[in-house]
Structure 1
């Protein structure tokens, strides 16, 4: 009899615990979905854009695109890269300073003071870090920064990239496209200066002395893998 009474008394308590647990899960899910505008709810935020960097970006934009602004409005393309560093720490440290290292990047030092960066940095295990809001211009692809969201992948070469990064890139691109229906193109950095590809109609450069630099990241195998995952897992096909 006591055993039955204890069981009956426990039911409301168990129901209360279940309701509280469900409430906690729902609140956590709501918090995850309620990311600030311009930020991905599944990325870890490491925002490197200080007021100084925004000012340097606006100056870069004025010089190369004719408009003094750090705002990225209605992006049309996504560009995939690798960092040329094997570790996350080395990659992040390279992007963190607001000023370009003119010795390390002498090839683009004539183009402006702001350091190179990208909106996202994907670690080798597929963890996604967001370095900048999607509504901010990053310096990552000559002639297209004003309209391109950049995704950097930790790796010192095409062979150093991982399947986890490819899956993370595909999932991230899917979410970005949902937030920005204006996006039409997905390219690898190695494709950016190919004037025969559809994306090239977006090319804009006011400084005619600022020349393209040769690129080979992230490699066609990685790009093909991401495109296949996008098509098969999310039904997304973007032009290049």
Structure 2
């Protein structure tokens, strides 16, 4: 462990019911961390969404690996040696970190509700920075970090106006402190 690491916040291990059904992977395969926001109002609602089985063939759903609540509480829903479903096309190589934040909730595809104006609390960002420092020490194969919005740039038809296109994903959004985060990691921001 590096001597200048910030103290690791306690991580509550609370695996999703289908965690063992997710594909296993070697930890050396991980070269990317993806930051998301839940776009739900609470950690409980994010957990409820994560527990939903959306893929009948595998009995799994959408989730990240780590979740960080507004107060800095860190939970592990999927261990890193399992492939979570959190970002199209990058799941096998990445760890997903979800920050509880309303985002565009509940009007994700409404053209008049695309602002993401909930700030990220200091406790949440401090916990994220500490978690990233420890992931950096634990996974030397990681070279990249990205926001969900960097990797999923697909546009969708707005539900309120079929002539308007809205981004499928905007998280972690315009209020996320990328400059501060990038100062603390040795990774490159992946923006294909």
TM-score w.r.t. the length of structure 1 is 0.58
CA contact under 8 A between 1:188 and 1:220: conserved in structure 2? no
1:128 is displaced (CA, Å) by: 0.5
CA contact under 8 A between 2:9 and 2:127: conserved in structure 1? no
Normalized per residue, the structure richer in strand is: 2
Aligned to 2:65: 119
Output one character per residue of 1:125-162: Cα deviation in whole Å (capped at 9) or x when no partner.
11111111111110001111000000001111143232
Aligned to 1:169: 128
Normalized per residue, the structure richer in helix is: 1
In 2, the alpha carbon distance for the partners of 1:85 and 1:193 equals 19
Q: In structure 2, do the counterparts of structure 1 residues 133 and 86 end up closer, same or farther at CA, with 3 Å as the change threshold?
A: same
1:168 is displaced (CA, Å) by: 1.2
1:41 is displaced (CA, Å) by: 7.3
TM-score w.r.t. the length of structure 2 is 0.71
CA contact under 8 A between 2:9 and 2:74: conserved in structure 1? no
Output one character per residue of 1:83-129: Cα deviation in whole Å (capped at 9) or x when no partner.
111111111111123x11xxxxxxxx799752001110110111111
Give the aligned length.
156
| 1:1-240 pair list within 5 angstroms | 42-50=10-18, 53-55=19-21, 57-58=22-23, 70-74=24-28, 75-97=30-52, 99-100=53-54, 114-157=60-103, 158-160=116-118, 161-193=120-152, 214-224=168-178, 227-229=179-181, 231=183, 234=184, 236-240=185-189
Corresponding residue SS for 2:117: helix
Q: Which has the larger radius of gyration?
A: 1
Could you tell me which runs of 5 or more consecutive residues in structure 1 were left unpaired when the two chains were aligned.
Answer: 1-39, 59-69, 101-108, 195-212
Aligned to 2:160: none
Task: Could you list the structure 1 runs, at least 4 aligned residues long, displaced by more than 3 angstroms after superposition.
Answer: 109-113
CA contact under 8 A between 2:67 and 2:75: conserved in structure 1? yes
Greater relative contact order (Cα < 8 A, sep 6+) = 2
CA contact under 8 A between 1:189 and 1:215: conserved in structure 2? yes
